[in-house]
């Protein structure tokens, strides 16, 4: 019998990540670090192997950016440019090693950070993106309990997406495994509430017309449709885009319907539709399992590669 989705795991993981203890998991903060540590411990418990290098689940990334607005007017431009601001972010990487084509990687990802505390108000980020994070965690838990796949499955929970895709960019600059090995990347972003423009069970895929991945996933059971919010350009707004710019087939799975709680303190756990979230996660299990065991390699549609 195939391992079943654990609804209590999904709910408890999300309730902690988007709860008061982590103060909204602000990019580059110690709260983001604590979230990364929590996720890493869970992946280890679920039976995944570390994939961040040196036997670690967490990749610590140091970011150097020029100081802006802090130097005095009398300082020379040379002095200003020689004073970088140093921040840190944390990516969590775990894997289920393949049995055959182990150098071919199916990457399941989500960003673990949110906005943190701004002007005294906590931005909890329950849908954005604790929902995607726990979705990837639960897929990892189920997949690790099943038969080992032909291809290697890597799960990546990126830090500091909200600060400009910094975690995923840092991974590409200092990869723990060759990015060219990634056959496809599915980024899970805001799947905790249904999109009212779609049927209740449906999810949408960003960049639908850019690759042949979406239709193949649908042919193997995915409840996916094209992103109905073309004007929002969501394909370019999550970590998948950092990878896509490197030529990797990378698209986002979501059910965000432009709700009013986006990037507001009101994006809280009580707004999550856990029945929808559980169904969304479960609906992607079969298609992901197929993708990890087939020899199909998605391709860009001519002229649609970023």
Torsion of CA 235, 241, 246, 251, to 10 degrees: -60
Q: How far apart are CA 126 and CA 135, in angstroms?
A: 12
- In this predicted structure, the answer to whether residue 2 has a pLDDT above a threshold of 80 is no
Token pair for 151: 């291809």
Token pair for 172: 């590409």
For the chain, give the number of residues: 306
- In this predicted structure, the answer to whether residue 75 has a pLDDT above a threshold of 60 is no
Which CA distances in Å does 65 have to 12, 62, 84, 163, 175?
36, 10, 5, 12, 20
pTM of the model: 0.94
Q: How far apart are CA 269 and CA 275, in angstroms?
A: 13
The confidence score (pLDDT) of residue 83 equals 75
Please write the tens of the pLDDT for every residue from 165-203: 999 999 999 999 999 999 999 999 999 999 999 999 999
Please write the tens of the pLDDT for every residue from 117-159: 999 999 999 999 999 999 999 999 999 999 999 999 999 999 9
The confidence score (pLDDT) of residue 74 equals 45
What are the helix (H) ranges across 220-268?
A: 240-244
Rounded to the nearest integer, the mean pLDDT of the chain is: 94
The confidence score (pLDDT) of residue 64 equals 78
The confidence score (pLDDT) of residue 1 equals 60
The confidence score (pLDDT) of residue 65 equals 74
What are the helix (H) ranges across the chain?
A: 7-17, 30-46, 77-81, 132-145, 166-173, 213-219, 240-244, 274-293
Greatest alpha-carbon pair distance for the chain in Å reads: 71
Q: Determine the CATH number of domain 13-293.
A: 3.40.630.10
- In this predicted structure, the answer to whether residue 78 has a pLDDT above a threshold of 70 is no
Q: What ranges do the domains of the chain cover? A: 13-293
Judge whether 68 and 118 are in contact, CB under 8 Å. Answer: no
How confident is the model over 252-260, as a mean pLDDT? Answer: 98
Token pair for 24: 């909204």
- In this predicted structure, the answer to whether residue 103 has a pLDDT above a threshold of 80 is yes
Residues with Cβ < 8 Å from 161, sequence gap 6 or more?
A: 27, 111, 113, 129, 167, 168, 238, 239
């Amino acid at each position: 019998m195939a391992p079943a989705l654990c609804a209590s795991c999904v709910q408890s993981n999300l309730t902690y990540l988007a709860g008061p203890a982590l103060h909204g998991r602000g990019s580059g903060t110690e709260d983001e670090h604590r979230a990364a540590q929590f996720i890493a411990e869970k992946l280890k418990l679920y039976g995944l192997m570390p994939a961040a290098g040196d036997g670690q689940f967490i990749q610590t990334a140091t970011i150097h950016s020029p100081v802006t607005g802090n130097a005095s007017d009398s300082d020379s431009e040379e002095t200003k440019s020689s004073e970088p601001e140093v921040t840190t972010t944390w990516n969590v990487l775990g894997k289920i090693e393949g049995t055959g084509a182990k150098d071919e990687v199916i990457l399941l990802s989500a960003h673990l950070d949110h906005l943190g505390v701004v002007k005294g108000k906590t931005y909890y980020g329950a849908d954005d993106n604790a929902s995607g994070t726990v979705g990837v965690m639960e897929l990892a838990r189920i997949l690790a309990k099943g038969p080992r796949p032909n291809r290697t499955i890597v799960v990546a929970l990126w830090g500091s997406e909200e600060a400009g895709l910094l975690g995923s960019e840092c991974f590409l600059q200092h990869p723990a495994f060759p990015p060219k090995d990634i056959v496809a990347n599915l980024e899970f972003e805001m799947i905790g509430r249904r999109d009212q423009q779609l049927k209740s069970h449906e999810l949408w895929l960003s960049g639908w017309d850019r690759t042949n991945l979406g239709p193949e996933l649908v042919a193997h059971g995915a409840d996916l449709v094209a992103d109905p919010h073309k004007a929002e350009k969501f394909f370019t707004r999550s970590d998948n885009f950092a990878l896509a710019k490197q030529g990797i087939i990378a698209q986002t799975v979501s059910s965000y319907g432009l709700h009013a709680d986006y990037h507001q303190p009101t994006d809280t756990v009580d707004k999550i539709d856990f029945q929808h979230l559980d169904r969304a996660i479960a609906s992607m299990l079969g298609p992901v399992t197929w993708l990890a065991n087939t020899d199909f390699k998605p391709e860009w549609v001519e002229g649609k590669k970023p």
